[in-house]
């Protein structure tokens, strides 16, 4: 019989402070696997899952430099250490030195009668001393909440000063989908399989979790790593990885001429908006219009599109943008497809918990001059298209995703594209979450636009769906900037789990 224990949080020791204040260099932190000190062998798998979830959450804190879990695995293999091995203080210090860390976070957990307790300790790599200890405790079924509580305690103990954006991200992350204990175990099993090189079995575990929790970032990151291919470097330019979904060629065995005949495909519309020339309280941008015009040229040259609507600089007023969106609502038919690209300033009002586009005629930082993400969501819901894909390269653009949705999972079968195209879709790809994103980057493009264009230009397949486009740009953007792109269906807009499909010109 389970005993309902109240949530217990224990602060054990308060010792020397950490140097992570304003102006200081980043604290390099390595998170080792926590030791399962209980009798439950089933919980052993949580070692990796817990570490990976903590790394994912804390990697959003810019004052921390987190050692990736893949690097920890690499060092453990080099040192011939078993994944079941506990990290005592001496071993933890040795690992910390090999990982180039200043501070080590490790600890233990155990389960008893339906209750899970997690104890953490912070170790100074140079001295080997335990700096601080802390812990959380609660029902096993509340594992997701316990992990978030532990993140909060780690931030407090490391004396980290969070920005408003970081606070907003962690708050939104906590309020998101509640991952169950069983799904956390499934995710952890997937990590172990991935580390053993059993990619297909690992992918099945991650996809099982994502079927229930499509926004669970650690599983999405794991899938992206499984999709990675070797990157070839020529001169100083980094070539994008060629990404495959499933096993081998995602179009293998697919006679698309049967499933996507011209009789089945409606018109393709594109609305492209780019703004550099801001004034008043808004600083000018350098690359937004170049990003947008290059996207327009790339789509015209390489993909099937029937009509383009564009708004650049002074054309992109609040009224003009709203009118173009309204035109799509009134003119697009049910069999048609709509692609919308926005490149410009974005804003997030913490007091209203809402994100906005900033039109060219905005002079102040008043919401009366913006276009809210909820307004955009309303327009997207009103457009009668079969598929609508919004791509937004602006600060705080990830706010548009609020809520949870499910998409058709990718599979390497003839029926996939037929089903993905037949079901309506309303997706967005954003250059970041609730965070600022970079204007500058590579070749006079933002980092996000540069890799978006790379994927569109390098694709040599007849069909490219929105999820493949996202998988192709996600890792390069994360590796070359401080932002994390997002891809998800947009809640309450009529999405049925399908996919927008780019059709390459022959």
DSSP 224-259: HHHH--PPPEETTEEPPP---SSSS-TTTT--HHHH
Q: Are 317 and 368 in contact (CB under 8 A)?
A: no
Pairwise pLDDT comparison (21 vs 503), residue with the higher score:
503
In 388-426, which positions are buried (b, 16+ CB within 10 angstroms) versus exposed (e)?
bbbbbbbbbbbbbbbeebebbebebeeebbbebbebbbb
Q: Which of 36, 28, 131 is nearest to 89 (CA)?
A: 131
- Residue listed under structure tokens 């791509």: 391
Q: What's the pLDDT tens digit per position in 436-466? A: 445 556 678 889 999 999 999 999 988 899 9
Residues of the chain with CATH 3.40.50.10070: 27-176
- Residue listed under structure tokens 């965070």: 435
Q: Which of 503, 157, 191, 460 is nearest to 337 (CA)?
A: 503
Q: Which of 339, 286, 295, 345 is nearest to 316 (CA)?
A: 345
**Strand-pair partners of 9:** 136
pLDDT at 69: 84
Task: Kindly give, in sequence order, each residue whose CB lies less than 8 Å from that of residue 231, ignoring residues fewer than 6 positions away.
Answer: 238, 239, 240, 241
pLDDT at 24: 53
- Residue listed under structure tokens 């297909």: 200
Q: Are 16 and 130 in contact (CB under 8 A)?
A: no
Which pTM was predicted?
A: 0.50
Q: Choose which CATH entry (3.40.50.1460, 3.40.309.10, 3.30.70.260, 3.40.50.300) describes domain 268-503.
A: 3.40.50.1460
What is the CA angle 116-118-120, rounded to 5? 180
CA-CA-CA-CA torsion for 221, 223, 224, 228, nearest 10 degrees? 140
pLDDT at 472: 92
Mean pLDDT throughout 183-208? Answer: 89
- Residue listed under structure tokens 């070749």: 443
pLDDT at 56: 85
User: Which range, of 227-236, 243-252, 399-408, 480-489, averages the lowest pLDDT?
Assistant: 243-252
Q: How is residue 109 annotated by DSSP?
A: E
Whole-angstrom distance between the N-terminal and C-terminal Cα of the chain? 66
Mean pLDDT throughout 93-111? Answer: 82
Which tokens in the block code for residue 405?
């949705």
Q: What's the pLDDT tens digit per position in 368-384? A: 999 988 889 889 999 99
Q: What's the pLDDT tens digit per position in 286-340? A: 889 999 999 999 999 999 999 999 999 999 999 999 999 999 999 999 999 999 9
Which 3 state secondary structure label does DSSP give 457?
helix
Give the separation between CA 189 and CA 182, rounded to whole angstroms. Answer: 11
Pairwise pLDDT comparison (302 vs 430), residue with the higher score:
302
Average pLDDT over the chain, rounded to whole? 78
**Strand-pair partners of 268:** 337
Which tokens in the block code for residue 133?
């200890």
pLDDT at 416: 60
pLDDT at 242: 32
Pairwise pLDDT comparison (226 vs 292), residue with the higher score:
292
Give the separation between CA 134 and CA 144, rounded to whole angstroms. Answer: 18
User: Which range, of 153-157, 201-205, 220-224, 298-302, averages the lowest pLDDT?
Assistant: 220-224
- Residue listed under structure tokens 């967005």: 428
Give the separation between CA 204 and CA 223, rounded to whole angstroms. Answer: 10
Give the separation between CA 416 and CA 127, rounded to whole angstroms. Answer: 56
Residues of the chain with CATH 3.40.50.1460: 268-503
37 backbone dihedrals φ, ψ, rounded to 5° = -95, 5
- E strand or H helix at 111: strand 103-112
Residue 388: band (very low, low, confident or very high) from pLDDT cuts 50, 70, 90: very high
Q: Which of 491, 107, 501 is nearest to 268 (CA)?
A: 501
> For residue 452, how many other CB atoms are within 10 A of its CB?
28
pLDDT at 86: 56
Tell me the CA distances in angstroms from 113 to 1, 7, 42, one per residue in order. Answer: 7, 14, 14
Give the separation between CA 238 and CA 246, rounded to whole angstroms. Answer: 24
**H-type helices in 99-216, by residue range?**
143-157, 164-174, 181-195, 199-212
Q: Which of 280, 289, 401 is nearest to 344 (CA)?
A: 289
The separation between CA 89 and the C-alpha centre of its own chain, rounded to angstroms, equals 34
Q: How is residue 455 annotated by DSSP?
A: H
Give the separation between CA 173 and CA 170, rounded to whole angstroms. Answer: 5
Q: Does domain 27-176 have CATH number 3.40.50.300?
A: no
DSSP tally for the chain: helices H, then strands E: 15, 22
In 49-82, which positions are buried (b, 16+ CB within 10 angstroms) versus exposed (e)?
bbbbbbbbbbbbbebbbbbebeebbeebeeeeee
- E strand or H helix at 392: strand 387-393
> For residue 244, how many other CB atoms are within 10 A of its CB?
17
């Amino acid at each position: 019989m389970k005993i309902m224990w109240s949530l217990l949080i224990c602060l054990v020791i308060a010792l020397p402070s950490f140097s992570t204040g304003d102006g200081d260099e980043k604290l390099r932190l390595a998170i080792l696997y926590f030791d399962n000190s209980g009798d439950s062998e089933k919980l052993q798998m949580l070692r990796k899952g817990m570490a990976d979830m903590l790394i994912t959450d804390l990697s959003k804190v810019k004052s921390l430099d987190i050692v990736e879990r893949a690097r920890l695995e690499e060092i453990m293999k080099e040192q011939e250490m078993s994944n079941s091995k506990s990290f005592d203080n001496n071993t933890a210090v040795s690992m910390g030195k090999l990982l180039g860390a200043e501070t080590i976070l490790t600890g233990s957990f155990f389960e008893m009668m339906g209750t899970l307790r997690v104890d953490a300790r912070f170790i100074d790599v140079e001295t080997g001393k335990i700096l601080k200890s802390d812990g959380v405790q609660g029902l096993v079924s509340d594992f997701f909440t316990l992990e978030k509580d532990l993140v909060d305690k780690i931030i407090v103990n490391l004396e980290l000063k969070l920005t408003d954006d970081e606070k907003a991200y962690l708050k939104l992350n906590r309020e998101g989908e509640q991952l169950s204990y069983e799904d956390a175990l499934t995710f952890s099993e997937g990590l172990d399989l991935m580390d053993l090189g059993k990619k297909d079995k690992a992918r099945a575990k991650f996809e099982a979790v994502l079927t229930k929790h499509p926004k669970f970032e650690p599983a999405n990151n794991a899938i992206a790593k499984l999709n990675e291919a070797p990157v070839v470097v020529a001169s100083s330019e980094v070539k994008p990885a060629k990404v495959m979904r499933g096993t081998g060629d995602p179009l293998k065995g697919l006679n698309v001429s049967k499933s996507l005949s011209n009789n089945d495909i409606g018109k393709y519309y594109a609305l492209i908006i780019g703004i550099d020339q801001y004034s008043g309280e808004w600083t000018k941008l350098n690359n937004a219009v170049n990003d947008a015009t290059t996207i327009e040229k790339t789509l015209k040259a390489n993909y099937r599109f029937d009509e383009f609507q564009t708004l650049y600089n002074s054309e992109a007023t609040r009224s003009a943008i709203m009118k173009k969106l309204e035109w799509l609502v009134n003119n697009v038919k049910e069999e048609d497809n709509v692609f919308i690209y926005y490149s410009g300033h974005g804003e997030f009002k913490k007091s209203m918990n809402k994100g906005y586009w900033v039109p060219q005629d905005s002079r102040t930082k008043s919401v009366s001059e913006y276009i809210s993400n909820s307004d955009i969501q309303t327009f997207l819901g009103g457009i009668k298209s079969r598929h609508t894909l919004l791509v937004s390269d602006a600060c705080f653009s990830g706010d548009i995703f609020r809520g949870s949705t499910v998409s058709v999972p990718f599979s390497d079968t003839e029926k996939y594209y037929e089903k993905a195209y037949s079901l309506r879709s309303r997706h967005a790809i954003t250059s970041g979450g609730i965070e600022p994103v970079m204007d500058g980057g590579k070749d006079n493009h933002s980092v996000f636009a540069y890799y978006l264009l790379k994927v569109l230009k390098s694709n040599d397949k007849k069909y490219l769906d929105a999820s493949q486009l996202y998988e192709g740009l996600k890792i390069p953007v994360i590796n070359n900037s401080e932002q994390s792109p997002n891809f998800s269906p947009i809640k309450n807009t009529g999405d049925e789990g399908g996919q927008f499909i780019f059709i390459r010109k022959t």
